[in-house]
Amino acid sequence: MDRARKRKLGNRYLTILPLLALGLVSCKDKEKEVVEEKPELAIVEPKENIEFGFNLDEYVVRRDTVKSGESFGEILERNKIGYPQIFHIAEKTKETYDIARYFQKGRPYTILCSKDSLELPKTFIYQPSLEEYVVINFKDSIHAYKSKKPIKYVEKLATGVINSSISETLDEQGISPVLTNILADNIYAWTIDFRRLQKGDRFKVIYTDKYIDDSIYVGVHDVKAAYFEHNTEPFYAFRYETDSIKGIVDYFNDDAKTLRRAFLKAPVKFSRISSRYNLKRRIAVYGYKVKPHKGTDFAAPIGTPIMATAAGTVTKSSYTRGNGNYVKIRHNGTYETQYLHMKKQNVKAGQHVNQGDVIGWVGMTGYTGGPHVCYRFWVNGRQVDPFKQKLPAAEPIPDSLKTKYLEFIKPIKYRLDNTNFKPQNVEDSELTQPEIRQATS
């Protein structure tokens, strides 16, 4: 064995030591778990209080959050650790996790102290995020490691019949508004206008909720599948990975067709249509003369990002007295779009933009009574109402994946189809709502 190899082995041996110690701890825990599995014992013995991989019952546990301007060293000093040792700890742990550098006001930390009269700190645990935690062991040899709390995804199914709005329908069932956003802005952004839902529209959604440590609810993780009935027309959506290497995931319907259109329904999120395309509009200030409105106005607060509704090339980014700051985009030989009254543009003529790119911000420049974006849509040089157009679909699912996809969605579709809506109708919903609330609270 040569010297270099010996040194290497030596180093490895050193780094294994703390791991061995850890291994012993976890073996011990496993033994206890086995004992617990016997049902008669499980009832008598209280459950072990495990967190961060430690049995908290074996320590005096001190929990707090980092205060403004407080340093790692100050906290240690307050907990009976002297300066030479603090310096030593900081140096030793720098490589694994430079705690002093990432220490942030408001983040929680936990100190595990010996369960004796001295109450000496044995372990320091810092939580840079809800999921992650850093453990610094002071006992025996100092070492640090990063770990993550166990994450659990729970699949859920929600159904509802819309009375006023989808968010209200979900809210009544205690479901996060994030689910509405995923449905409205991601899955059905191209097929259903969520600002124009009808009373009686109904839906079923299979989604996953994310939990940390079995108990902390993080939120809706994603939607696996959905069925949305709008104006009695059914729209299925199934989440499918079309490229596992690049991790490309998209939603397709029960016919393997894409739900995306080449154009977004609206250039702004969370807005309302304040004025529609109307060739016979009469306006009071013009003596009720016909003043056609060839755009669709989306009212939104000043500064709201305006998105390109489709990929294309910016042909104009300029100003006129009527339009104010505006952007015009040519998408192909057929389609053009224009966005008026911007506070400020974010693109220059000649620039290529992708669908969803921010091209400017909502403002009040030009002739306008309030903050909005006037969205104009051209087909072959003629201004039309984009909501009356059969817009082209985006890229379909590749032929090579179609059979596999249809096979994949079969059991999911079966589950959706065999789930009943609740409540069944408007009258029922009014009667059963209080009961539902009671059952969930």
Q: Which residues bind Zn ion (CB under 5 A)?
A: 295, 297, 374
Which residues on adjacent β-strands are paired with residue 163? Answer: none
Cis upstream peptide for 423 (omega within 30°): yes
Q: Smaller CB distance to Zn ion: residue 191 or 323?
A: 323
Tell which residue, 391, 390, 408, has the closest CA to residue 254.
408
| Residue 323 or 355 with smaller CB distance to Zn ion | 323
Task: Rank residues 93 and 323 by Cβ distance to Zn ion and give the closer one.
Answer: 323
When the beta carbons of 87 and 367 are compared against Zn ion, the nearer one is 367
Q: At its nearest, how many Å lie between Zn ion and the CB of residue 303?
A: 19
Residue 351, helix vs strand vs coil:
coil
Contacts for 241-249: CB closer than 8 Å, 24+ residues apart: 242/397, 242/398, 242/401
Question: By C-alpha distance, which of 337, 355, 329 is closest to 298?
Answer: 337
Residue number with CB closer to Zn ion (256 or 374): 374
β-strand 143-148 against 132-137: which pairing, if any?
A: antiparallel
| Nearest residue to the partner Zn ion, using Cβ | 374
Nearest to Zn ion of 206, 340 (CB atom) = 340
Rounded Cα distance between 16 and 28, Å, is 18
- The CB-of-297 to Zn ion minimum distance in angstroms stands at 4
Burial 334-356 (b: 16+ CB within 10 A, else e): ebbbbbbbbbebbbeeebebebb
Q: Do residues 317 and 348 touch, judged by C-beta distance below 8 A?
A: yes
What is the closest distance, in whole angstroms, from the C-beta atom of residue 125 to Zn ion in the complex?
57
Minimum distance from residue 192 beta carbon to Zn ion (Å) = 23
Given a contact cutoff of 8 angstroms between Cβ atoms, the answer to whether 173 and 436 are in contact is yes
52 in Cβ contact with 26 (< 8 Å) = no
Min CB(293)–Zn ion separation in Å: 6
Taking the complex as a whole, the smallest distance from the CB of residue 217 to Zn ion amounts, in Å, to 42
Q: What are phi and psi of 29, to 5 degrees?
A: -60, -40
Q: Which is nearer to Zn ion, 250 or 297 (CB)?
A: 297
Residue 276: CB minimum distance to Zn ion, A:
9
